[in-house]
Structure 1
Amino acid sequence: MGRRTALGLLVVLLAIAGWAVSSWLPEDAPTDRRTPPPVATAEPSSGPVDVRKVRRDLTGLATVARRPEGLAAYERSSFGGGWADGDGNGCNQRDDVLRRDAVEVRTGQQGRCDHDVLAGTWVDPYTGRRLTFTDLKEPRQAQAIQIDHIVPLSEAWRSGASRWSEDRRRAFANDLGNLLAVDGPTNMSKSDDDPAGWRPRKGFQCAYAARWVETKARWSLAADDSERQALGEMLGYC
């Protein structure tokens, strides 16, 4: 077989292979794989913190003013009306997080949810205190353990979410990777502060900063200068 004939045959074979791969793709298949949609049910990172990676991710965040001018006022309703069942397991995100973060837990069946959390013990990561509740259907006890957005919704709004669609904001509000079961009063004191305004106990600052940066990087949110400085200081405890 001559050289030109061999090259011609190779071109034909490559064309056939390309057609075979493309023929089973749906017409609306995404072609840009650089920016996949965030995973709304991501589990939190486990194991040691990769500080070098976190610092790289922090450096890669876009910069925003601490109080952006012309920004519409934040409203909680912009992120949906409450906890959703983000992963379709029959239970909403509150029950999923309570069960995930518990040291000990007692659950029951409620509707489609097979792990409706009734009671249990948790260790609040923000203070290190041990929290035990015997009846989470009792309002006072239910209020004493809350599900915190590590990156608060209003902070997300200021750092990019104001430009998102309603569906994307709702997904962010129910992102398991950005949720923690914490002590109620401590969560209330944190409110919507960023790391420049509020920090957990020193022993949790490394993990907290890592989770904050991880969330902002995954959702392409920005950071302001004082926030960056505070995060860098907390990563120093890793």
Structure 2
Amino acid sequence: MDVILRLRAALAAASGLLVVALSGCGLQDYLLEQVDSIGESGIPSTIAVGPGGTYVDSAALTRMLQLPVRSRVSMQGYSRAAFGPLWDDNVDVQFGRNGCNTRDDILRRDLTGVVLRPGNCFVSSGTLLDQYTGKTVRFLRGPTTSGEVEIDHVVSLANAWTTGARFFDDTARRNLANDPRNLQAVTRAINQDKGPMDAAVFLPPNRAYRCVYVNRQIEVKLAYRLWVTKKEAAAMRGVLMSCPRPA
């Protein structure tokens, strides 16, 4: 029952963000009625919201409630090197120790029409549907073209540092930096736009991907026992309160 009460409180707190956008549909009362009708047998993964067809991702909201809400710690001591060598294969996560660097592992996962360089792991070419922007770009390995596709840390390493990773040992930080759950191939421009920002400051321009993006951040933060700030938690709630209608 505690989970139900906490979810009800989260919906009540977050629904105010959406009443303006969906004025006239009685959203807040509707949501609270839906939550009140949920028994202890479980919370459905989505709750329908009005005629617009958007959904509340209540399962993700429930998972988010497991994240501690705290202030950031200092950036003191932060550097990319604190998370180990770039795209290190010597890690205890999916694709780890497979003889390929992490960047090429993610390119092979996220690109279509992948062509590998004969005899090794290097991706020579492929096509990327950039989930952050919805744009499709061609990847071609080369000194002037490879950088057009970058690998984003969904939870940025700087954000991770200030929400718990500062206190990790070297192994945990290497794992976080190379965990496929926290990595996404994107175009250089959007990756540079995002930088170290959290969900309170940056969300993908492609609104259709925002719920997936926030879900992934929650998954990573839970897996590595990171926390969220108040503003970060509020931004996540706002996204999860208005997800695209499931197919």
TM-score range, shorter chain: 0.7 to 0.9
Superposition TM-score, scaled by structure 2 size: 0.70
Corresponding residue for residue 11 of structure 1? none
Shift of 1:235: 1.2
Corresponding residue for residue 176 of structure 1? 180
Distance in 2 separating the partners of 1:71 and 1:188: 20
Task: Indicate if the aligned counterparts of 2:131 and 2:209 stay in contact, CA closer than 8 A.
Answer: yes
1:224 aligns with 2:199: no
1:162 to 148, 166, 170: 166
AA partner of residue 152 (structure 2) = D
Shift of 1:211: 0.4
Moved over 6 A (4+): none
Distance in 2 separating the partners of 1:107 and 1:237: 40
1:195 to 196, 199, 210: 199
1:54 aligns with 2:60: yes
Indicate the SS of the match to 1:96.
helix
Name structure 2 gaps, 5 residues minimum: 1-44, 47-56
Distance in 1 separating the partners of 2:242 and 2:126: 30
Shift of 1:109: 3.6
Tell me the C-alpha RMSD between the 2 structures.
Answer: 1.6
Corresponding residue for residue 125 of structure 2? 119
Name structure 1 gaps, 5 residues minimum: 1-48
Q: Deviations over 1:23-65 (max 9, x none)?
A: xxxxxxxxxxxxxxxxxxxxxxxxxx77323211211111221
Distance in 2 separating the partners of 1:189 and 1:148: 11
Distance in 2 separating the partners of 1:177 and 1:153: 13
Q: Deviations over 1:143-166 (max 9, x none)?
A: 110000000001000000111101
Distance in 2 separating the partners of 1:101 and 1:215: 18
Shift of 1:103: 2.0
Task: Indicate if the aligned counterparts of 2:58 and 2:240 stay in contact, CA closer than 8 A.
Answer: no
Listed as ranges, the matches of 1:61-80 within 5 Å are 61-65=67-71, 67-68=72-73, 72-80=76-84
Task: Indicate if the aligned counterparts of 1:54 and 1:214 stay in contact, CA closer than 8 A.
Answer: no
Change beyond 3 A, Cα 1:71–1:179: closer
Q: Determine which structure has more spread, i.e. the larger CA radius of gyration.
A: 1
AA partner of residue 186 (structure 1) = I
2:86 to 73, 82, 96: 82
Task: Indicate if the aligned counterparts of 2:108 and 2:114 stay in contact, CA closer than 8 A.
Answer: yes
Query: Which deviates the most, 81-90 or 169-178?
Result: 81-90
1:92 aligns with 2:101: yes
Shift of 1:71: 5.4
Corresponding residue for residue 108 of structure 1? 117
AA partner of residue 122 (structure 1) = L
AA partner of residue 166 (structure 2) = S
Task: Indicate if the aligned counterparts of 1:150 and 1:212 stay in contact, CA closer than 8 A.
Answer: yes
Task: Indicate if the aligned counterparts of 2:132 and 2:209 stay in contact, CA closer than 8 A.
Answer: yes
Indicate the SS of the match to 1:89.
coil
Task: Indicate if the aligned counterparts of 1:121 and 1:130 stay in contact, CA closer than 8 A.
Answer: yes
Distance in 1 separating the partners of 2:181 and 2:129: 18
Superposition TM-score, scaled by structure 1 size: 0.73
Aligned length: 183
Task: Indicate if the aligned counterparts of 2:75 and 2:161 stay in contact, CA closer than 8 A.
Answer: no
